[in-house]
Amino acid sequence: MDYLTSERYGVTEHHVRQIFMGIRGWFDGDESKLFPEEPTERYGKLIAGFGGRAEVAAQSAKALEDEDVRWATELATWLVRSDGTTQDERNLLAKCLRVIAERTPAANIRNWCITRARHLDGSFPMDRFMVHNFNPKFLAESAATGIVHTLRVIMDPDKIEGMNHHIAFTVGDETCGLHLRNSVAVPTDGWGAQSLVTMSRDIFMGVVSGRLPWSEAFAAGDIKVSGDIEAVDQFRMSLENKGFAG
């Protein structure tokens, strides 16, 4: 390979997959991919089929020792992506990823593997990047209505399953709403809502930014709820936001 075809950013086998999927779609003829198991359940069943977590960990470590890095990484991934993972298992996968990082010529793959390995072994946790946060500049420049309507994209649909409830929000001099139905939140103007949440813009911004827990502001009387308090609580607890869920 010359400098034009060297694998400095990505590798050939990844680009082949990307091109294939772009032209032919995701199905490659592998029967098991038609209706696959949910990943967490699949990993759990594979681990059980291989004889348990200790056996899978032992086989992964042995594969890594034998320079079978691909298989070692796959086995360790089962352990980390399944329920009940331990720090030793996370360290094992981190070790596999560090080997990949050391050997790949591709900068983007190397950087991702090192970052993921450092998260897994705890040397540089990435948890704060894995939650939804609102940018302070965005909050300062945005109308409360737009922010309330944006809440629909950080909502866990499983946590509002079966709900059919319209909630209005009055934030300062703005009023808007979200109608929860069919596990989605539909933006509204708040007219005809069954419940009403009232607070000042400063309190709202404190909650949205995560600096002020909802429960604390509610207890202090800074947030007022009329209507179905339980429904409002169910909604706010469905949001991936520590201010609303707090």
pLDDT at 5: 77
| More reliable by pLDDT, 119 or 129 | 119
Locate tokens 């922010």: which residue?
147
pLDDT at 224: 98
Question: Which helix (DSSP H) or strand (DSSP E) does residue 155 occupy?
Answer: none
- Collapse the DSSP code of 83 into the 3-class scheme (helix H, G, I; strand E, B; otherwise coil) and give the result: coil
Residue 36, amino acid: P
Which CATH number is 136-245 given?
A: 3.30.1050.10
Q: CATH 1.25.40.880 spans which residues of the chain?
A: 12-129
Residue 125, amino acid: P
Nearest Cα neighbor of 237 from 128, 184, 159, 131 is: 159
CB count within 10 Å of CB 138 equals 13
CB count within 10 Å of CB 39 equals 12
pLDDT at 134: 79
pLDDT at 35 over 80: yes
Nearest-angstrom CA–CA distance, 5 and 2: 6
pTM score = 0.73
Structure confidence by residue, pLDDT tens digits, 226-242: 999 999 999 999 999 98
Q: CATH 3.30.1050.10 spans which residues of the chain?
A: 136-245
Structure confidence by residue, pLDDT tens digits, 85-112: 999 999 999 999 999 999 999 999 999 9
pLDDT at 1: 60
| More reliable by pLDDT, 153 or 136 | 153
Which CATH number is 12-129 given?
A: 1.25.40.880
Nearest-angstrom CA–CA distance, 38 and 33: 11
Cα distance between the two ends of the chain? 55
Structure confidence by residue, pLDDT tens digits, 181-191: 999 999 999 99
